[in-house]
Amino acid sequence: MNTKTSTSTIAIQPEADHPHRWLIEEPQGATSTGVCRICGTEKIFRNWLESSDFITNTEHRMAA
């Protein structure tokens, strides 16, 4: 039996069936590359975009 899995995934990618678990790498200038630990999707995050979000992360890290 030929068990060759033919991936019929089209270029169109709808919302994933899971909440992406972004693993953020070291900031490279103004952006950071995040890789989903589940599906491996990469996404560029802009560090400078929302400073309020950045502060929230810092506070969260300090609280932990």
Residue 14 and residue 41: Cα distance in Å, rounded?
13
Q: Does 20 participate in binding Zn ion (rule CB under 5 A)?
A: yes
Residue number, nearest CB to Zn ion: 36
Please report how close the Cβ of residue 10 comes to Zn ion at its closest, in angstroms. 17
Q: Which stretch binds Zn ion (CB under 5 A): 3-11, 19-27, 48-56?
A: 19-27
Please report how close the Cβ of residue 39 comes to Zn ion at its closest, in angstroms. 3
What is the longest distance spanned by two Cα atoms in the chain?
Answer: 57
CA nearest neighbour of 53 among 14, 15, 20, 24: 24
Q: Does 36 participate in binding Zn ion (rule CB under 5 A)?
A: yes
